């Protein structure tokens, strides 16, 4: 067990060493999203504090909230999970394959690094990253490559389900939904898409599905 944990720490350290410093620093804007409903509090998704024209907002996935829009929501960082911050659901949408986002306002006096939104999308073959915090664990840096939008010309069912969604070759775990997909733009890290699910293609390339940043977040 100790050897396995040591190997995990070693691999994580290698991923950090290989990532640009700006990407590593982006972890400070990453939070877990919690829901309080029917007397229980549980972590449901990941998300990121982003910069918008209306000020900082917390961005996650829409399917994380669609079944309980009236619930109370909180965010926390896994380094201090006992410190919960109440956030207010401001806008959400979940209609695959075109959109899947939730946007929360933050309380007055809340201070956190906030990541800018990218002006453009990732190019096919470009290195991209994501800080994910599945099930409330300390965020893990995922490194991947953008492979372009998924399309299935010979499978109408798959095309209707996920056709056109961004596909990033990477790995992840349940609870990663809502994580921001990151890239470098003019040397600075920015958010270019939202991680909303996983996918395994017919040639067995595991990856993440992404959707564009919604106009409501800009």
Task: Report the predicted TM-score, pTM, of the whole model to 2 decimal places.
Answer: 0.89
Residue 148 near residue 167, CB atoms below 8 Å = yes
Instruction: Measure Cα distances from 8 to 13, 26, 28 in Å.
Output: 9, 21, 21
Residues 90-117 pLDDT 10s:
999 999 999 999 999 999 999 999 999 9
Average pLDDT over residues 39-68: 95
CA-nearest of 132, 100, 106 to 214 is 100
pLDDT tens for 139-192 read: 899 999 999 999 989 999 989 999 999 999 998 777 799 999 999 999 999 999
Exposed, middle or buried by CB within 10 Å (0-12, 13-18, 19+), for 142? buried
* Cβ-contact 130, 181 below 8 angstroms: yes
Domain coordinates of the chain in residue numbers? 27-105, 117-217
CATH topology of 27-105 equal to that of 117-217? yes
Please say whether the structural domain 117-217 has been given the CATH code 2.40.10.10. yes
Domain 27-105 listed as CATH 2.40.160.20: no
């Amino acid at each position: 067990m100790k050897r396995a944990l040591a190997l995990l720490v070693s691999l994580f350290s290698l991923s950090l060493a290989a990532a640009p410093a700006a990407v590593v620093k982006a972890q400070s804007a990453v939070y877990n999203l919690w829901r309080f409903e029917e007397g229980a509090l549980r972590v449901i998704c990941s998300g990121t504090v982003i910069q918008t024209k209306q000020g900082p907002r917390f961005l996650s996935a829409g399917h994380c909230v669609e079944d309980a829009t009236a619930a109370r929501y909180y965010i926390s960082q896994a380094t201090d999970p006992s410190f919960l911050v109440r956030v207010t659901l401001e806008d959400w949408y979940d209609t695959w394959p075109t959109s899947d986002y939730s946007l929360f306002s933050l309380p007055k006096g809340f201070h956190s690094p906030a990541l800018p939104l990218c002006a453009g999308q990732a190019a096919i073959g470009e290195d991209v990253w994501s800080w994910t915090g599945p099930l409330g664990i300390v965020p893990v840096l995922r490194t991947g490559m953008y492979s372009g939008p998924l399309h299935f010309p010979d499978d109408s069912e798959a095309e209707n389900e996920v056709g056109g969604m961004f596909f990033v070759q990477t790995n992840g775990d349940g609870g990663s939904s809502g994580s921001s997909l990151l890239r470098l733009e003019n040397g600075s890290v920015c958010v270019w898409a939202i991680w909303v699910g996983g996918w395994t293609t017919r040639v067995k390339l595991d990856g993440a599905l992404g959707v564009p940043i919604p106009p409501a977040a800009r």
